[in-house]
Chains A and B, each alone.
Chain A
């Protein structure tokens, strides 16, 4: 039963994990997408976006973990899930010898829509994705951008509440990208929950209500866009190695300015490695180091952590296609 006091998430994953042979594609992913959100799912190529989306669409079985859709566990009701979710894969093909309207008609039949409804929906959707004039064209003759839009239309044919769009803008020219973006905004305005993946942050940042950043199969950031922005602008992680035992090291770094609570990465009698959030510029960092050294701390290493959110963000934003 759906609890009416706390509205369930449209999509929620719990410890979702997928292992292919030896590579861990998705690593205990806990994702929460509220209803009506336009969720930007960002990560590098190979970060596990497609695998996650395929698991959400019920096309791939998780090695471990669960997917919850509208407060119900997926997997038990695969058929029902298919009616709730519209899925558009990153790479897809089209059938040969098929007209545009037949293409949509085929998928409409797959969802067992009545003939009257089929006709009506096909017209509406073609209008929505701006392909009305291509109604009787051969599917294979469409341009890449048109095929993308047609595929989006196919994902909408059963009027799903949730849309999973895997890199809908990839391979499109700038103009087509803008069109696709407008289309997504339009769909979001219709109240649908949309999860759209991309490897380019700015592309999504401005239109998404929520953002999740995935790296190496793990979620490194998840929240609404404003929060993420705030985090990304200031967040740094300092990595400090002090040549003392754990208790002494914690005592030394205690009360450092601009720094968050430190956590131990590695500890032994001869030295302790710590990581701590740090909100400050390089100057502030230099002052912090000087202060510790003045207090007699044997600091052996003082650097920014490689796992820092900032770094991930840099990778994301600099990797074009």
Chain B
């Protein structure tokens, strides 16, 4: 056998492709063409940026003017070059494997001892060498910005690193489609479609979310956008450093705009967008390269059945979700209640919630006179009988002085981070004198208040108001209730069972409750009689996910790399399974004693 002694040798495909590509004037004409475009573009930018500072340019004292021109030219050129990379990189590799098939050279190649990895890396290397040539040619062009200042070597390195990264990503994408479709045209089309989706599609989604929410959209939507990644990388640099003289140049807002603002996470642990992009695209690239390697195997090229596609898609989705869970866990916050792994059943943590026992069990009741009112206080809420069920009755007639009645229970309930908390109240309003919240919206006929402490030890009150009588000229809430959530209207003399959705569905990790402190029923106003049959603070506890760890955990703790369910399995095994809170669950009676309590939506407002 003629196995020559193994020696270091260049990838044969790399040699061949480069020889072919660099032969003749084609490659260099193309390069010249690109440089001419870049040159014209930067000249245009210079012309655009200059007039505003025409008078100041000679003034050496004004460094800011020059810096702004420099930054404009630099950023403009960098973005154009990035666009060129996005356009050129996939087209260089889209014919790599399909071309071999179409030229009928694939069998000859497969008969050689070259493996799929060598073949793909040779093709990739050749494409990247060409992109590298273009980028190297563009470096002097961008460095013209130095004449004006405002740009550092660090910015230059960042910009070209991002471009090089995307060159790899999109080359591999082209390679993958080439190996998949075996037709160059289709591969080019598919690659350009995806590049277009990454650039325009993500911006579109970002804008649509913004318009729909009427607020700043979450910037992780832009993580797949090359331009946002570039902007984010440049923001990291000196260009927008608030400590330098250059801050406030006209380029800065544009960069923030493209990168989706600087609202990454909490200010204290801000992760720049480009890090998310890097993570996502690294996974994507490895994934595509691995599949492409499967596809160019000579004998085992898997014919894709539908099932294989589905499995691959699921795998990809799992990777994506995994990457998001690692790098951008806050993405999942809005969906917590659907993916939480509950460790306890949902239960009511209120003691004596149906007033079956005397009020001394759990409840503290009281009555308080209004601040400028004299006289004796009315009776505090007391137990009464309504339709055969025990209720807590809040009653005050117009004759008694203005006062507040309350029933309060201290909960002191420590919560895991992953808990769903809901409020519920079953009540009937038999009488409600003043419409909505009384005069000037200050007196709520009935409110349920939940005091809680968040993960930063901030105290909060959550309030839900109820009213019965309505007047269209009054606001539909009182100042005490602070607008959100809106008051619920209860039809007079009818039982209503109110149930909220997850109270903490839309808060950030830091605003999640650490403990539920107190629940208060609170009646106010001129004249009312309200029966409360049941008070519910429903807690459904899940395992603690990692994102909610207290900030003392180091940012790059190993725990970040352990899927939360693995962590929880281990954690659970060590700690022992069972309810998270000591004290045990409080059982809810199976048979409600309050008859005829339909749970239904609040009544619509009717204008008399």
**Contact assessment for B299 and A106 in the assembled complex, using a CB-CB cutoff below 8 Å:** no
**Contact assessment for B299 and A154 in the assembled complex, using a CB-CB cutoff below 8 Å:** no
**Contact assessment for B24 and A97 in the assembled complex, using a CB-CB cutoff below 8 Å:** yes
**Contact assessment for A92 and B4 in the assembled complex, using a CB-CB cutoff below 8 Å:** no
Whether A302 sits at the interface, judged by CB under 8 Å, is no
Please list 16 pairs of residues, one from A and one from B, whose beta carbons are closer than 8 Å in the complex, sorted by A's number: A79-B113, A92-B105, A97-B19, A98-B16, A98-B20, A102-B16, A106-B15, A107-B108, A109-B10, A109-B12, A110-B12, A110-B112, A111-B4, A112-B4, A113-B4, A151-B108
A83 to B20, CA, bound (A): 26
A61 to B16, CA, bound (A): 28
Interface centre among A86, A92, A95, A102 (most CB of B within 10 A): A95
Chain A residues with Cβ under 8 A from B298's Cβ? 58-60
Chain B nearest CB from A120 CB (Å) reads 12
**Contact assessment for A92 and B111 in the assembled complex, using a CB-CB cutoff below 8 Å:** no
**Contact assessment for B103 and A87 in the assembled complex, using a CB-CB cutoff below 8 Å:** no
A47 to B18, CA, bound (A): 41
3 A-B pairs with the lowest CB-CB distances in the bound complex, closest first: A109-B12, A93-B104, A110-B112
Whether A82 sits at the interface, judged by CB under 8 Å, is yes
Counted as pairs of residues, one from A and one from B, with CB atoms less than 8 Å apart, the total is 94
Whether A114 sits at the interface, judged by CB under 8 Å, is yes
A159 to chain B: closest residue by CB: B2
A91 to B103, CA, bound (A): 10
**Contact assessment for B107 and A112 in the assembled complex, using a CB-CB cutoff below 8 Å:** no
Chain B nearest CB from A34 CB (Å) reads 19
Task: Write the residues of chain B forming the contact surface with A, with a CB cutoff of 8 angstroms.
Answer: 1-7, 9-10, 12, 15-16, 19-20, 23-24, 103-105, 107-115, 298-300
Q: A65-106 vs B: 1/0 string, CB under 8 Å?
A: 000000000000011101111110101111111100010001
**Contact assessment for B108 and A102 in the assembled complex, using a CB-CB cutoff below 8 Å:** no
**Contact assessment for A94 and B105 in the assembled complex, using a CB-CB cutoff below 8 Å:** yes
**Contact assessment for B299 and A92 in the assembled complex, using a CB-CB cutoff below 8 Å:** no
Q: Select B111's contact among A59, A94, A114, A117, beta carbons within 8 Å.
A: A59
Chain A residues with Cβ under 8 A from B6's Cβ? 112
**Contact assessment for B20 and A97 in the assembled complex, using a CB-CB cutoff below 8 Å:** yes
A96 to B7, CA, bound (A): 28
Whether A158 sits at the interface, judged by CB under 8 Å, is yes
Chain A residues with Cβ under 8 A from B107's Cβ? 54, 59, 87, 89, 92
Chain A nearest CB from B118 CB (Å) reads 9
Chain B nearest CB from A70 CB (Å) reads 10
B105 to chain A: closest residue by CB: A93
**Contact assessment for A57 and B4 in the assembled complex, using a CB-CB cutoff below 8 Å:** no
A110 to B24, CA, bound (A): 25
Chain A residues with Cβ under 8 A from B104's Cβ? 89, 91-93
**Contact assessment for A83 and B113 in the assembled complex, using a CB-CB cutoff below 8 Å:** yes
A102 to B113, CA, bound (A): 18
Known: A83-B113, A110-B112, A114-B5. Contact between A60 and B105, CB under 8 A?
A: no
Chain A nearest CB from B200 CB (Å) reads 34
Q: Select B4's contact among A97, A98, A114, beta carbons within 8 Å.
A: A114
Chain B residues with Cβ under 8 A from A89's Cβ? 104, 107-108
Interface centre among B5, B7, B113 (most CB of A within 10 A): B113
Q: Which A residues, 127 to 182, have Cβ-Cβ distances below 8 Å to chain B?
A: 151, 154, 158-159, 161
